[in-house]
Structure formats: C-alpha cells, structure tokens
Structure 1
Amino acid sequence: MDSDHRTVAVGALADREYEQAGDAYTRAAWDRLTEPRDGLSPFDADEKGWVGRALQRLALAGVCYRVAGRGERAAYRGREGVAVASDLEYALDRPAQRACLREFAADFRVIGDLDRAGEAYDDAEAAYRDAAGSVDSVESLTTTPLFQGAAGTLRQVARGLDDGEVAVSWADLHGPDPDDIGAFLAHRARFKRQRLASLLARTVEADYLATPRGTTEYDNANFRCPDCGSTDVNWVTDHTLCMRCSTPMDPR
C-alpha cells in the first residue's frame, strides 16, 4: 500500500509545483524502500521485485526536479538511484531482475544528466540477453512491479507530450517476438537509449510533467476541466484530474 507521500506528489504535479512534487516523490521512495511490501525487507529475494515501486518514485523525483529547473537536485537523485539499483543486485537473485536493475541504473543516469548512460544501457541490454535462458514466462515477468516500475517513468513522461494518452505501449517498449526472449527484453534498453533523453528534454522545455495515468473515462458527464474544457477524467490516488492536462476537474 502506498504512503500519503505519493498522493501529495500527484497533487503537486496537478498544481505545477514540481519541486514540491520531487520532494514528495523522494519521501515516497524512501518510505517504500524501507518496506517494499508488508513484512518484506528491501534486501530479501523477491520474485515480484516490489522494490521497483520505490525506484520508480525515486526516478520520478529526479524528473520533477529537472522540470523545476533544479538540475543539481536531479543529479543527486540520479546518483542515489544508480547506487540503490546497483546495491539491490545483491538482493534480487534472478538474472532478469538484475538486468532490469541495470536498466533502472541507466535511466537514473539520463534523469540525473550523468555520464555513461549509453554504456549503462548497453550493459542492461547484454544482461537481458544473458538472462534469457532463465525466464519461463516473459509475459509474467514484464508485468511484475519491478518491470512495471522501470517502464512507468518513461510512460509518464511520454503521456504529457501526447495529450495524456498512452504514448508508449507495452509493444513499443519490447521487441516484436516474445518467443525470442533475449531480444524481446533487450529492446527495452535500446528503446530507452533512443527515446528517454529526448522525451525528457521536451518535457523540461514544455515545463510540464503529466500526472500518472490511473483509472480513466472519456466524455464523463459529471466533470469538466476548468483549464482546457475536456470532459476526459483521470482518477489517480485520491485526485480527480483532467486526463488531457492534469488539472483538477470541476464537477458540473
């Protein structure tokens, strides 16, 4: 269960208070790292990889700081994320999970505007290919909290540039053939190496980071956005927001 810190972060995003959102996401990450799941230590082997939720919060904190113009704080989160993801390789014992942690580490290098991001993605890609023989079901693996967390930041950044829609699909992120497990997973690292930095730069230039996509409904008769006039709704945490521009919705 999420702490209140994520709810505060989403509210701050809706209010365009990006440094405040970064602070709240940082607290949400630290809170999750302490106990990723009820009774679970972050250093326990865990087939679901619940620490992925914490790492995603930390990555989003860095993105928020970048949008807020606080590059030095984004760099701190980037270095922190690289260190945490690397350390967690000693906890998670499945090769594909360790490859995903390397994917996270590469993302943190991009988010923090640190060096050697390309090399880090190459490392993640090679680790995915090496891990292919250990994966029984790639569909089950990529829907675990670890892999969803690693995809979530990219997808949140991208949706703000695409009118709130799902701008990066599961098919976009992975290769075309799930039976070719190594290539299918390695495509994640290649796709991010090609797209994450440019999407983040556009987000910073737009001075706008969308809220995460929760439960949505198009053309809802009960709400209208006071900013853009949309009636498409996004319910996330305890907020009722415009799916298009993340503004809090007015009832009508």
Structure 2
Amino acid sequence: MTTTDDRVAAGVTALAERAEERAGDEFTRAAWLSLAEPRPAEELSPFDPDDRGWVGEGLRWLVAAAAAYRVAGRDARASRRGVEGIAVARDLQSSLDGPAQSACLDEFVADFRVAAGMNDAEAAYRDAADAYRDAGAAVDDTHRVATSPLFRAAAEPIEQVARGTANGELAVNWEDLHGTDPSDPGAFLAHRATYKRQRFPSLLARAVDAGRLAAPRGTTEYGNDTYRCPDCASTDVNWTAGRTLCLRCSAPMERR
C-alpha cells in the first residue's frame, strides 16, 4: 500500500533529479493521501476537531506542489493547486475552530496565493496577522501552539524554498518567523504572517528564476568523508525522506 511517506520520498527524489514538475505531481499525491488520513494509526478524520492540527501536513505538501510547479514553469497547474489549497484551508476552519488554528489556516491561504502566483497575497497575510492578534487572548501556551503540527506544517514551505537561496542552509528559522515576546501571543504569532508577507514572494521568485527547488532539510552532517556530491563536490550531507542528498545543491550523494 502506498503511503504519504512513499509519495514524499518520490517527490524528494524528483527534486534531486531536477524534475520539478514530477516533484509537484508527487507532492500533490502526498497531500491528497495526508488530507484523507492525517494520522492513519489513530484513525483521525480530517473533519474532526484536533488541537494539534495534524491535517496541516496535507496543506504543506499542496503548497510545496504549487511551488514546484512554479519552478517547473507549469503556472496553470500551480494555480489549480492554489485554488484547491485555499478551498481546503477554508473548509478546515469549520473543524479546526480554535482561534489560533483558524488564523494559521488564514496564513496557509496567503501561502497558497504566493506559491501559486495568485493575486492578493499581501492582503491575505495582513488578514492572517489581524486574526492572530485577535486570537491572542485565547492562547494559553504560546510555545505549544507554535510548535504544533499545524503551525510547523505552515512553516515548512518557506523554509524549503529559502534553502535554495542560502547554499542549502536554514535561511528562515524560528526567530525569523516569530515575535520576540511569547508572553504576548497575538503579536508573537502575527509576526509569522508579517515575515512571510515581506519575504516569501521574493524567495520564491529567486527559486523560479534559478529553475531549482531545494529538497526539504532533514538530518544533516558537515564534512562526511563517506559521501561526495558529483555535481558540486561537497561532502555536506542532507538525509531527508529516506534519501541521501547533497546539503548544498540537493543532488544525490555518491559513496566515495
């Protein structure tokens, strides 16, 4: 039986082979599988309330798919993924009905507008920031909310896109995405939307211009003498989705 992990691994393999369109196809399939069964072992329905927001992984891969299609020059397909993603995010607001979760889904809506090359992304991010500020009073544990699967899933696409502009390093981190004072949950979380509004469009534009989308970052090691990148000669390794890739350029590593 094919799983979400299998499809993600196929998408990462496609990125390593510089086949971004195929990566978009595989990430789309991963998204559909994840949206259908967010936690198969727990028999969790995507339509049930879930204070952790596991269904966010499906949205994450739809954003990644749209970005991959944009990089591949398949703008029409990217646009369709954006439309799909926005519809799903809006629908999920009827089940993930906590104020902070609803605001995070607003953030996803803005991400889809950027990844798909749609209009009104800036306004969508401003709406998400306002929703976070309004939700602040309902947040008891800022760290638990910000590190939940839903919020982590919303952070992953910009982190992945940004890697391609930073020689494979983490160019977007926790401190970038969040405010400085977790005791003020509304402002702390609203910073996510503000930062993305300022950075995500230009980061994706650079990836589109380069014609390359980096693989997600997994477990890394610098200066591993066992491996060498055949493309750029780096010995810095990124183990992600079961693949051994170059940390710098996402090419498959070769054993020395």
TM-score, structure 1 normalization: 0.98
Instruction: Count matched residues.
Output: 252
Asked if the contact 1:3–1:31 (Cα under 8 Å) also holds between the matched residues in 2, the reply is no
Aligned match of 2:226 in 222, 229, 237? 222
Q: How does 1:58-77 map to 2 (within 5 A)?
A: 58-77=62-81
Q: How does 1:17-166 map to 2 (within 5 A)?
A: 17-38=19-40, 39-166=43-170
Aligned match of 2:16 in 9, 14, 17? 14
Q: How far apart are the structure 2 equivalents of 1:169 and 1:237?
A: 20
**Could you report, residue by residue, the CA deviation over 1:42-61 in whole angstroms, capped at 9, with x for unpaired residues?**
11100110011100000000
Q: Give unpaired runs (5+ residues) of structure 2.
A: none
Asked if the contact 1:51–1:146 (Cα under 8 Å) also holds between the matched residues in 2, the reply is yes
Q: Give unpaired runs (5+ residues) of structure 1.
A: none
Q: How far apart are the structure 1 equivalents of 2:7 and 2:241?
A: 10
**Could you report, residue by residue, the CA deviation over 1:189-226 in whole angstroms, capped at 9, with x for unpaired residues?**
11111111111101000111100000101111111111
Amino acid at match of 1:140: R
Runs of 4+ in 1 over 3 A off after TM superposition: none
Asked if the contact 2:5–2:241 (Cα under 8 Å) also holds between the matched residues in 1, the reply is no
Q: How far apart are the structure 2 equivalents of 1:110 and 1:147?
A: 18
TM-score, structure 2 normalization: 0.97
**Could you report, residue by residue, the CA deviation over 1:90-146 in whole angstroms, capped at 9, with x for unpaired residues?**
011211000000000011011111122122111111110111111111111111110
Aligned match of 1:246 in 209, 229, 250? 250
Q: How far apart are the structure 2 equivalents of 1:81 and 1:222?
A: 41
Q: How far apart are the structure 1 equivalents of 2:253 and 2:63?
A: 27
Instruction: Give SS of 1:176's match.
Output: coil
Percent pairwise identity: 59
Report the equivalent of 1:5: 7
Asked if the contact 1:161–1:203 (Cα under 8 Å) also holds between the matched residues in 2, the reply is yes
Post-superposition offset of 1:241: 0.4
Amino acid at match of 1:212: P
Report the equivalent of 1:212: 216
Aligned match of 1:187 in 185, 188, 191? 191
Amino acid at match of 2:164: G
Q: How far apart are the structure 2 equivalents of 1:79 and 1:170?
A: 28
Amino acid at match of 2:53: G
